[in-house]
Amino acid sequence: MGIVDTLTGIQGVLLQLGPIVSVILIVLGGLAYGLAQTQPSDQRGKYITTAYALIAGGIVVAAITGAASLIATNSANLLT
């Protein structure tokens, strides 16, 4: 049962930290996008790419956090 306990611990950490990390990534993406609008056109693309990547990362973290209990349940069933 050591692996199941480990998965339960990981699930708890994801459920606590996931929403916070998700919001931080989305806010940083918004700030990077806003900063991109103040840059010259040759640098704007780099900032916008970074902003989109941060926002997409925030959405992925939110999706994983939302599905953490389902992932842990299915993983525990596979391991036992």
53-76: b or e for each residue (b if 16 or more CB lie within 10 Å)? ebbebbeebbeebeebeeebeeeb
For residue 34, is it within any domain?
Answer: yes
For residue 11, is it within any domain?
Answer: no
Give the span between the Cα atoms of 21 and 44, in whole angstroms.
25
Whether the predicted model's global pTM rises above the 0.85 cut:
no
> Per residue in 55-66, pLDDT tens?
999 999 999 888
Give the span between the Cα atoms of 48 and 31, in whole angstroms.
10
CA 5-9-10 angle, 5° bins: 120
The residue segments making up the domain with residue 48 are 20-79
pLDDT confidence tier of residue 1, bands split at 50, 70 and 90: low
Domain count, the chain: 1
> Per residue in 6-65, pLDDT tens?
877 877 887 899 899 999 999 999 999 999 999 998 899 999 999 999 999 999 999 988
